[in-house]
Amino acid sequence: MIFILLGPPGVGKGTQARLLAERFGVESVATGDMIRAEVSNDTELGREARSFMDAGDLVPDDVILRMVGARMQNGKGGGFLLDGFPRTLAQAEGLDRILSKIGKPLNGVVSLRVPEENVVERLGNRRVCPVCSRVYNLTSQPPRTPGRCDDHPDAELILRTDDAPDTVRHRFSVYNAQTRPLVDWYRSRGLLREINGTGSVDDVLGRVEAALRSS
Ligand code: AMP
């Protein structure tokens, strides 16, 4: 099974992707996490991507497609949940090429929707584990010990540099200009499931799971 989770920054894709990947027994491919790992390992790809990421801009399509193509061709065969990819029409077309290479269809696309003001607030309260990328929210999903990851108590949770308010606003405009058109593109192919992303993590998970099981 191959699914895409689509939605603006801070809509809850990362949190849902982690839970859904476990439930459906598929591998989560989160391009943002993959790029952050490249940056922190100071690889060539990381050095190439860093300035785009810090500015809240998209990393060039060819860099992303090479990274995702390699990852999907080395998959364990159980399927993928794509989180934060594709983000442009060129990436969506590139994904089609990758899928035909590995001989698998795209089963569905979940578009998570929440009002923009909720999302800006969520991002200000978001903290991330630098080891496992698990996402916390200081008010709605705090860690057991303040400032520490539940699964990696030695790791101090961080505020992503691109979660600064000005960069968040820019990321929204990038989403609206470059990624939102994919919603119509996948709708016209009959693959889109639009899901209300407000409410508790469990509420949203239940809705997404129901939509995916009926795909
Ligand atoms: P995310 O963790 O999904 O919010 O992504 C954080 C940042 O990584 C984005 O603002 C982009 O700079 C970069 N990024 C992640 N995924 C992609 C992608 N599919 N295409 C281009 N840039 C990406």
Which of these is catalytic: 126, 127, 134, 193? 126
- Whether residue 86 is preceded by a cis peptide bond, meaning omega within 30 degrees of 0, is yes
Flag whether 39 is in a domain.
Answer: yes
Flag whether 131 is in a domain.
Answer: no
- DSSP E strands in 39-134: the ranges are 80-83, 108-113, 126-128
Distance 175 CA to ligand 1 centre (A): 10
Which of these is catalytic: 50, 87, 127, 193? 87
Q: Ligand 1 pocket test: pick from 53, 62, 66, 169 the residue with the most ligand atoms within 8 Å of its Cβ.
A: 53
Is the pLDDT at 184 greater than 80? The verdict is yes
Flag whether 64 is in a domain.
Answer: yes
Looking at residue 82, its pLDDT comes to 97
Is the pLDDT at 127 greater than 90? The verdict is yes
Flag whether 209 is in a domain.
Answer: yes
pLDDT digits (tens, 9 = 90+) for 14-64: 999 999 999 999 999 999 999 999 999 999 999 999 999 999 999 999 999
DSSP state of 110: E
CA gyration radius, the chain = 16
pLDDT digits (tens, 9 = 90+) for 91-104: 999 999 999 999 99
pLDDT, mean of residues 71-91: 94
Looking at residue 166, its pLDDT comes to 85
Residue 84: which CATH number?
3.40.50.300
- What total of structural domains would you count in the chain? 1
Flag whether 192 is in a domain.
Answer: yes
pLDDT, mean of residues 134-150: 94
Catalytic-residue membership of 113: no
Distance 208 CA to ligand 1 centre (A): 22
* Residue span of the structural domain in which 201 resides: 2-115+178-213
Flag whether 170 is in a domain.
Answer: no
| Helix ranges (DSSP H) in 103-146 | 116-124
Looking at residue 119, its pLDDT comes to 82
3-state secondary structure of 180: coil
Looking at residue 117, its pLDDT comes to 78
Flag whether 47 is in a domain.
Answer: yes
